[in-house]
Amino acid sequence: MKKIILIINLLIVVGASVFGYLYLIKPGLMNYHYAYLQMNETEIIDFNLHIFDLMITFKKIIGGMFFCVALFTLGIIYLNHKTTYDKANSFILFAALCFATIPLTILSHRVAEAIPDGEPKPLWYLPVLLIVLAFVSTLIAQFSKSESRS
């Protein structure tokens, strides 16, 4: 069972890292930000440069948060490898992911709903997928027999 939990947790690491990387590296805003505002980059800057800078800062904070989720998950993987506390570790990961991503998911879903069809929309369901993976990992850990380290 530890191998299944490891694979699931590695999927969380990869997903959170990719999401974080895209948010940190891509210059400007994401296409769905422009679609939501119904303005392009130049129009936002002309309207108020400080709003544009604030939005870029928020985007980078979200990217950093997802890198933190990936690092936290790597820490859980390490603890699962060194200890027999799979049940507690998996629950801690699930709880941390919920705290980190549920507010973002709700906001992203609302933004997606407000954007007209045919325009780029945020992939609000990807953070949900990370939560589901952590939940599955928690369930597997809860119903599996503890393996001791010799």
pTM, two decimals, is: 0.83
Residue 61 CA: distances (Å) to CA of 9, 24, 54 = 23, 8, 10
119: left (phi over 0), alpha (psi -120 to 50) or beta: beta
Residues 87-107 as b/e (b if ≥16 CB within 10 A, e otherwise) read eebbbbbbebbeebbeebbee
Per-residue pLDDT of the chain (150 residues; tens, 9 = 90+): 778 888 998 999 999 999 999 999 999 999 999 999 999 999 999 999 999 999 999 999 999 999 999 999 998 888 877 776 567 788 888 999 899 889 999 999 999 999 999 999 999 999 999 999 999 988 988 887 765 544
The predicted pLDDT at position 150 comes to 45
Q: Where are the domains of the chain?
A: 2-26+63-143
